[in-house]
Structure formats: C-alpha cells, structure tokens
C-alpha cells in the first residue's frame, strides 16, 4: 500500500498518514508482499505516544540540524553533562581525508571533565543515590546482589584510591581480565576516575592473547579474579593470567601488581596459585581504602580506554577512545535508541570484554542514571528459559542482545519463552551481525508478544556507539534492516572506485565526517589507522561492511567485506543438533550422559582470518592454512579452515583435534575452527595471493559458483579440494 517513501533521509518525501490508520501492533505488508524490503512493522500508537522521538518528522528535524550544525547540535547535548571547564571555541575539528594530511578527529577539545564523575557523582548529587545502579545476577539461579548509585560510587572510590596508592597515574594503562562480576564495571569506572586507561580483555581469551595485549600496552597493573563458573564449568582465570605474565616477563614487560578478586562462588583462595609480592587479594586491601576519592579532571581528548579488536592481519588493533566525545555519544545513543525512561530496567547480555559491554553495559546507561543488569552466567543455563526468568525477576524493560542468542533460543522452542510473563518488556535490541528476518520475527512475535519494537543497532568497536539504528517510536521497522542513521551520522555507500552511490544501491559502507564517539587512533600505530580505515576510500571512514539501501532509504547491512569473521556465539550448545530433533536439554543429558558444554562469550567475537591462520601454522605439522567464514546456523558465521600439512604428514583425526587445540590455546575457545578441510594445496594467484573467494565457495558448497579459476597458478588444486570436501 505504498506507505511512505524516502530515498534519502535528508530529502525524503514523508507520507506517514497510514501509520495512524494502522491497527495497533499490526504487521503491515507493503506493495510487494513477497519482498522483505516492503514488510513494515509499525510501533504501536501507545508506544509512539510516549516516545521521545515520536515521528519521522521530528527525527528529520533533529537529524537535519545534526548534519547542518554539528557543533550546535552536539554542544547543546554536551552541556547537559558536568564539565569542570567548558571546551574551547571550536567544538570539533577533523580531517578524514588522507589526501589533505594526517587523519585527525577531536571533539570538545579543551573541555575538562571526568566520565566517572558524570556516571556516578552527578547521579548521586541529583538525588538518585538510592536508585539501583547494578543488579547482579550470578551464574547459579538464586545468587544475586545489587548496588545503588551511592554504594557503587563508594566501591569505585575505594578501588581508585588503591590504584593510586600502588602508583597508577593518569595516562597509565590497566589491563582488566575479569568476568561479569560487579567488579568489572567498578574497575572500569575506577580507572576512569583517576585518568588511567583501562584495557579490558575478554576473560575467554587465552593466555597468549592476553600476553600479546599486555606486551602492547604495558600496563601498570593487571586486575583479575581467581576463577569463574560459566554454566556448569569452572574456568581458572588466575592460572591464565599467571601464564600470560610469565610470557610477557620474557619480553621484559614485568607487572608489579596483580590484583585478584576472590570469586568464592567458583573457587576458594586456598586453591589459587600465588606469587607473593605481585599478587594481592582484592578483598584484603580494597575495602580498607576511603570511600571518597578526588576526581582526576581530564581533557575531553585524553584517552579513556583501549580495546583490542581483530583486523585483517594477525596483530589485533588497539582501538583508542577518548573521554568527552565518547561520553556524549554513548549517553545520547543509549537514550534515543532504547527510548530510555528513568523507570526502565535495562539488560544488555554482552560481556564488558567487548565494546557493547563498554558502551552499553557501563557508560551509556550509567551516564543516564539507568538501572543495569550485570549477568555472570550463560543465557541457557540451567535451561534456555533463563533469560526470561531474569526478565521477570527484575522486571526488565529494555533487553539488548545478539542474533546468535535469538537464534539459539528460537531453536530451543517457544515453550521456554512462553512459560514466563515478560510483560515488563518495552524495547528489544539486537547487535553484532545482521539479524535474519525469521529470527527478527520470532524475537518480535514470541519474545516481545508483537508489542515491543526492536532496535537493530549497527555499529562497531571503532564507532564507539550506534551508527545506524531505529528510534523505536519514530518509524516502522523492516525485519532485518537497521533502518536509518543516528543523529550526526552521514553514511555513504560507495562503489569499488570510491564513488558515492545515490538512492537505491549496494556497495561498501563508509561514513562521511566524524561523530563524537569515533575512535581517534590505533594505539601506537596511527599509520595502520589511516591505512585500514581512511585510505581505501579517500574522504571517508571505511567500515569494512557491505551494505545496501532500498527504495525507502532503509539500510541493510550485508556483513564484512574484508577478512574478518563475525562469530557470534552467545550460547552455542552442542545439543543444537539434538534440539532440531525436538529433544530438550534434559533428553540430551539422558541420551549422552553428559551435561552440555555451554560456551558463552558475550555478544560477539570479531576474529581476523589471519589470527586463526597464524595460530594454525604455528603447529609443527601444519605448513599452510587459509581460513574463511561460512554461514553457521547458530553462530552467524562459523570458522572454516583449509589446512596444508607438512610434507609426508598423513591426515588423521588426532591431528585435526590437535590443530583445533592449538587455536583454542593461542586465541581462545571461541576461535576454534568448526571445520578443518585438508588441502594438498591452496588456490593461489601467480603472485602467491590466496584466492579466498574460491575457498568461500568451496566451504559453502556452492561449487557451481566458483567463477573464473584460470588466473590461478595451479587450477587443479580446486578439484583436489573439492574431492577432499567430505573427508
Ligand atoms: C558492536 C559490535 C562490528 C561488526 C560490524 C558488522 C557487525 C554489528 C550489526 C552488524 C549488521 C548489525 N555488526 N552490529 N551487522 N547489523 N546490527 O558488534 O562491534 O565487535 O567491533 O563488530 O559487527 O559487521 O562491522 P564489533
């Protein structure tokens, strides 16, 4: 019914009248019924009636201002925060064009502030001290805790005082290797309070990966805990840290302080290995410090944190975010994309080891004084109803997760969902990869009872916050589309020559001009920052993602176009196969006599194919490896490795296992290949470049789409690979 059109949000011809004639909660199909592009799902009148941005017109008015007058738009918002001193005359300065010199992005330079002060003290001072800041839910149902904003501030101050006492100063790095205990956001905020740069390493990375990060940022202290329970399994984190510290010591990076939280629910301190002088129990020292601590006032452009993420080479990139712009951007995106109200209870299932946990467990929500749930466990433990049990327990209103979790819960069956009320839910959110329309619809209809809009937020570690996202009350959604750009974001879809495409199109997703939350550099490697993100399409930031825009101006992300795999396994259960046979988790236990191993890793893993390859080739019997991503039912993308063995080494199941173990050991369990494909040779061009395009087709069994193989140095390797496909 041709509801409305807008080829580009800036000059769209808005026809929203049919919205009001649309029955509440109905799913309305547009012109071409069969096409996903024309399926529009409207927010209910009730929802829009109370929304912060309740119409497309209102969005367009605000969006237009954000693009025409970014300085005015963002400084009005920034003024709502506490600044010890206001920023200089120039609100921002930028150069995103490599042809015009070094890439530089600055927001609110000269402004003096502190993000911890804005998250905590500001909320306490405005009368929200008794509001719950964190509800903590442990791995085992029934283990829980909570902290009000005042209590959280006190805990943060004690740790901040301790860190200062052991010599951590403004600008020093602190590596954090903690699971989802309240101590994780406490540590982040304590570092921010004293101007130290936190670098959280997801507590699922191996000791080697942790050592690599420690050696790169040379922290003053490492903060960890003895162990954690995830699902039924105990993971001995302190042992991993010990190995990493021994490894970095070999390269001359010695760490004087390893503060260790005793997580009694997983392990007692007596069982923990200890290095006197270096290791110290959190509980023995931190509570002795004063509960107030002076704030270290920092410049808006002083670094806030480093977060390592995968790129297309083996070495992870230290994405650096600074204070002021990140603060303003995460707070604002959180507020609008979830249509935040002070009465909300918000749960983001991501681990703070990933950017989603930085921006949308800790900073964004706390800057808004929100009540946040921190969940230690696995979303399918003890059964796949756990999420909805938690939703009912805390009356969660905003639930933000990843498509992989949605898919795995969808597979477990509706009954795990429908046995819970879920009536507190208001807005659902998705992040990490494109959400396929059938998972979207299940999330919407079953989890949200066709009542809650879904914010499918597209963004990246690098962008700091949401870039393309629905504003839930403002316009109809299309299942699978992240819809429109956030305020201040100018997406550009370009072709391979870097030419900007208009209207309906597909190509590479870039962004023109900076936004406050953008990362400022790659730690210690500004050149790599420029080469990776700004050189491919001069004049633009290049995201690494493919994207198309439909006739109505909606954006549809299509996944990475570089050698990065997005493996998203929130809760990947080996019984996925059994649940297809409609067996429950208990049937699985009964048949196999095993409790399923639950691997849960927060909302996402970006893995560079090169990282996995370099782990594989470090195996003495592997001579070469090429890794590609393949579609995976639950994880979104799975890891598929082609492996060439050293001369004379025979293929064996044992060797296959030992290769997988090598990757698990070097990177982490989440990077373990799903499939090892024996390869007598790899398809290479004459210049020796592996043609991954062909490998991707072989991996996904699209053998009739191999394309031109004539430019290969030895085209016969393709037939050999196909012959070995099912070996
Ligand atoms: C926040 C986060 C970034 C990559 C990104 C893209 C994919 C994230 C998405 C999405 C489609 C969404 N991605 N959200 N693709 N729709 N809503 O995940 O950061 O770990 O750095 O990954 O994830 O491919 O480039 P990060």
Residue nearest to atom 16 of ligand 1 (CA): 434
Tokens 């005015």 belong to which residue?
72
Q: Measure the CA angle with vertex 396, ends 394 and 399; round to 5°.
A: 140
Listing DSSP states for 226-247 in one string gives S-EEETTEEE-HHHHHHHHHHH
Residue 560 CB–ligand 1 contact under 6 Å: yes
- Pairing relationship of beta strands 622-632 and 636-645 according to DSSP bridges: antiparallel
The answer to whether 699 and 675 are in contact (CB under 8 A) is yes
**End-to-end CA separation in angstroms for the chain:** 52
Question: Distance from CA of residue 714 to its chain's centroid?
Answer: 40
How much is the CA Rg of the chain, to the nearest whole Å? 25
Instruction: Tell me how far apart the alpha carbons of residues 577 and 582 are, in angstroms, rounded to a whole number.
Output: 9
Task: State whether the beta carbon of 431 lies less than 6 angstroms from ligand 1.
Answer: yes
pLDDT at res. 590:
53
pLDDT of residue 130: 98
SS3 for 453? coil
Residue 17, token pair as written in the block = 């009248």
Whole-number pLDDT of residue 586: 52
What distance lies between CA 300 and its chain's CA centroid? 24
Q: How far is the CA of 466 from the centre of ligand 1 (A)?
A: 10
Distance (angstroms) between ligand 1 centre and the Cα of 433 equals 5
Q: Where are the beta strands (DSSP E) in 343-408?
A: 345-348, 371-375, 398-401
Q: How far is the CA of 556 from the centre of ligand 1 (A)?
A: 12
- The string of pLDDT tens digits covering residues 105-115 is 999 999 999 99
- Would the CB of 454 count as within 6 Å of ligand 1? no
Whether ipTM exceeds 0.90: yes
- The neighbour count for residue 535, using CB atoms within 10 Å, is 14
Q: Report pLDDT for 15.
A: 30
Of 209, 189, 212, the C-alpha closest to 304 is 189
Report DSSP letters for 637-649, one per residue. EEEEEEEEEPTTP
Tokens of 76: 């009005």
d(CA 81, CA 332): 11
Do residues 655 and 623 lie in contact, with contact meaning Cβ atoms separated by under 8 Å?
no
Q: How buried is 547 (Cβ within 10 angstroms: 0-12 exposed, 13-18 middle, 19+ buried)? A: buried
Q: Assign residue 449 a region (left: φ > 0; alpha: ψ between -120 and 50; beta: otherwise).
A: left
Q: Give pLDDT < 70 ranges for the chain.
A: 1-36, 311-314, 568-604, 686-689, 727
Sign of the torsion formed by the C-alpha atoms of 378, 383, 386 and 388: positive
Count of other CB atoms within 10 angstroms of residue 646: 11
Q: What's the rounded Cα separation, in Å, for the pair 27 and 30?
A: 10
Which ligand 1 atom is the nearest neighbour of the CA of 461? 21
User: What are the residues facing 27 on neighbouring strands?
Assistant: 41
Can you tell me which atom of ligand 1 is nearest the CA of 566?
23
Which H or E run contains 113?
strand 112-113
Q: What is the pLDDT of residue 316?
A: 82
Give the span between the Cα atoms of 559 and 564, in whole angstroms.
10
Predicted confidence at residue 378, as pLDDT, reads 87
Token duo for residue 490: 């100018």
Other C-beta atoms closer than 10 Å to the C-beta of 68 total 10
Give per-residue pLDDT as tens, 555-605.
Answer: 998 777 777 777 764 433 444 444 444 445 455 455 554 444 333 333 357
Q: How far apart are CA 501 and CA 594, in angstroms?
A: 54
Reference 199, options 325, 85, 304; nearest CA is: 304
Q: What is the pLDDT of residue 93?
A: 98
Are the CB atoms for 259 and 221 separated by under 8 Å? yes
Tell whether omega for the bond before 382 is within 30 degrees of 0, i.e. cis.
yes
Ligand 1 atom 12, closest CA: 458
Query: What is this structure's pTM?
Result: 0.84
Look at ligand 1, atom 26, and give the residue with the nearest C-alpha.
Answer: 460
The span from the CA of 73 to the CA of 64, in Å, is 10
Other Cβ atoms within 10 Å of 645 Cβ, number:
20
The CB of 637 under 6 Å from ligand 1? The reply is no
Going by C-alpha positions, the residue among 495, 541, 502 that lies closest to residue 518 is 541
Q: Residue 356 CA to chain centroid, in angstroms?
A: 4
pLDDT tens string 357-393 = 999 999 999 999 999 999 998 888 999 999 999 999 9
Does the Cβ of 356 fall within 6 Å of ligand 1?
yes
Question: In this predicted model, what pLDDT tens digit does every residue of 386-442 receive, in sequence order?
Answer: 999 999 999 999 999 988 788 788 888 899 999 999 999 999 999 988 888 888 999
State both tokens at 569.
Answer: 């396994």
What is the H or E stretch that residue 586 is in?
Answer: helix 585-592
């Amino acid at each position: 019914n041709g509801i409305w059109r807008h080829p580009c949000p800036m000059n769209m011809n808005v026809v929203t009248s049919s919205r009001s004639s649309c029955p509440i909660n109905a799913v309305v199909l547009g012109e071409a019924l069969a096409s996903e592009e024309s399926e529009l799902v409207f927010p209910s009148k009730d929802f829009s009636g109370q929304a912060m941005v309740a119409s497309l017109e209102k969005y367009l008015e605000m969006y237009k201002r954000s693009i025409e007058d970014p300085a005015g738009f963002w400084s009005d918002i920034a003024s709502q925060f506490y600044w010890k001193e206001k920023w200089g005359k120039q609100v921002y300065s930028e150069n995103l064009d490599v042809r015009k010199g070094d890439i530089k992005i600055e927001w609110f330079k000269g402004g003096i502030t502190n993000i911890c002060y804005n998250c905590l003290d500001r909320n306490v001072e405005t009368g929200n001290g008794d509001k719950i800041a964190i509800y903590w839910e442990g791995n085992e149902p029934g283990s829980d805790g909570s902290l009000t904003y005042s209590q959280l501030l006190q805990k943060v101050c004690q740790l901040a005082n301790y860190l200062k006492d052991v010599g951590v100063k403004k600008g020093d790095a602190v590596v954090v290797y903690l699971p989802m205990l309240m101590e994780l956001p406490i540590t982040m905020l304590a570092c921010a309070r004293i101007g130290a740069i936190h670098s959280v390493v997801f507590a699922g990375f191996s000791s080697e990966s942790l050592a690599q990060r420690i050696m790169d940022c040379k922290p003053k202290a490492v903060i960890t805990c003895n162990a954690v329970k995830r699902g039924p399994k105990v993971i001995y984190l302190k042992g991993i840290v010990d190995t990493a510290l021994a490894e970095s010591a070999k390269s001359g990076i010695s760490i004087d302080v390893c503060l260790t939280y005793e997580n009694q629910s997983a392990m007692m301190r007596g069982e923990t290995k200890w290095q006197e002088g270096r290791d110290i129990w959190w509980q023995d020292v931190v509570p002795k410090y004063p509960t107030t601590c002076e704030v270290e006032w920092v410049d808006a452009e002083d670094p806030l944190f480093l977060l390592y993420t995968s790129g297309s080479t083996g070495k992870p990139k230290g994405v650096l975010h600074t204070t002021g712009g990140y603060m303003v951007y995460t707070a604002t995106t959180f507020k609008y994309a979830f249509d935040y109200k002070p009465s909300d209870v918000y749960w983001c299932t991501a681990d703070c080891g990933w950017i989603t946990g930085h921006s949308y467990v800790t900073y964004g929500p706390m800057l808004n004084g929100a009540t946040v749930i921190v969940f230690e466990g696995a979303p399918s433990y003890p059964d796949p109803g756990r999420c909805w049990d938690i939703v009912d327990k805390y009356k969660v209103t905003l639930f933000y997760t990843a498509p992989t979790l949605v898919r795995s819960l969808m597979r477990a069956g509706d009954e795990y969902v429908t046995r819970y009320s879920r009536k507190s839910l208001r807005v659902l959110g998705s992040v990490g990869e494109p959400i396929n329309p059938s998972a979207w619809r299940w999330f919407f209809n079953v989890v949200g009872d066709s009542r809650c809009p879904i914010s499918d937020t597209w963004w990246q570690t690098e962008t700091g916050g949401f870039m393309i996202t629905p504003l839930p009350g403002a316009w109809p959604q299309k299942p699978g589309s992240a819809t429109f750009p956030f305020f201040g974001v100018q997406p550009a879809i370009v072709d391979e020559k870097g030419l900007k495409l208009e209207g309906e199109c597909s190509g590479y997703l870039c962004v023109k001009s900076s936004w406050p939350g953008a990362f400022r550099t790659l730690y210690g490697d500004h050149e790599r920052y420029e080469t990776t993100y700004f050189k491919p399409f001069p004049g633009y930031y290049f995201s690494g993602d493919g994207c198309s825009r439909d006739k109505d101006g909606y954006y549809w992300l299509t996944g990475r176009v570089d050698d990065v795999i997005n493996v998203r396994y929130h809760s990947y259960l080996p019984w996925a196969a059994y649940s297809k046979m409609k067996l429950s988790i208990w049937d699985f236990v009964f048949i196999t006599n095993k409790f399923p191993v639950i691997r849960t890793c927060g909302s996402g893993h970006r893995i560079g194919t090169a990282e996995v390859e370099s782990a594989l080739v470090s195996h003495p019997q592997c001579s070469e490896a090429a890794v590609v991503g393949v579609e995976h039912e639950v994880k979104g993308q799975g890891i598929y490795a082609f492996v060439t063995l050293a001369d004379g080494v025979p293929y064996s199941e044992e060797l296959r296992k030992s290769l997988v173990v090598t990757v698990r050991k070097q990177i982490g369990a989440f990077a373990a290949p799903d499939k090892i494909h024996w390869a007598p040779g790899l398809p290479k061009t004459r210049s020796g470049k592996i043609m991954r395009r062909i490998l991707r087709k072989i991996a996904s069994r699209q053998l009739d789409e191999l394309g031109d193989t004539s430019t290969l140095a030895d085209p016969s390797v393709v037939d050999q690979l196909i012959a070995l496909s099912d070996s």
